[in-house]
Amino acid sequence: MAYDTTTEIKLRAGYAGCSRLLRLAKGQKGFTLMELLMVLVIVGLLAAVVGPSLYQRIKPAKETAVREQIENFGTALDSFLVDMGRYPTMQEGLKVLRVKPDGSEKWNGPYLKKDIPNDPWGTPYTYRAPGRSGGYEIVSFSADGREGGEGENADINSWESAKKP
């Protein structure tokens, strides 16, 4: 499109104060600083409104993932018990669900399809045998990575996981 002064005059007359159209008519491309700042303000407002509600959904999702993983470990441990006649010792830990222990002819694993993951907070699960309620106990120390705690830092364990949804 060729630029001429008549186009500029028509644009100024029809769209007074519309600098964007004038720049486009002159062949200039890009956005003004004001336009970019307005977009940043709008994006910031959206993040401020939507962000907290998304963050509130992360914690329950992590807790649900831990409870499901502990349930999977429990199923694998029960299969191990059927084959071996005992639960793994604390020295063997959960790794015995994937790797055959020395001198165990009855082992019929692997009992888990994948390697043993860390909990959603990046901490390894703790296995105890015997546990507080008998056979075994599997614990995730939650967000703080330490035993005990309340609220977001409360431990999630196998003997209580069935009680909570």
Tens digits of residue pLDDT in 14-29: 555 556 555 656 666 7
pLDDT tens across 77-125, in order? 989 889 888 888 888 888 988 888 887 788 887 888 888 889 888 889 9
Q: What is the mean pLDDT of residues 57-85?
A: 86
Structural domains in the chain plus CATH codes: 59-161 (3.30.700.10)
Tell me how far CA of residue 84 lies from CA of 73, 98, 102, 103, 129, in angstroms: 16, 14, 13, 12, 15
- pLDDT tens, residue by residue, 38-48: 999 999 998 88
At residue 143, the pLDDT reads 76
Question: Is residue 73 within 8 Å of 95, Cβ to Cβ?
Answer: no
pTM for this model (two decimals): 0.61
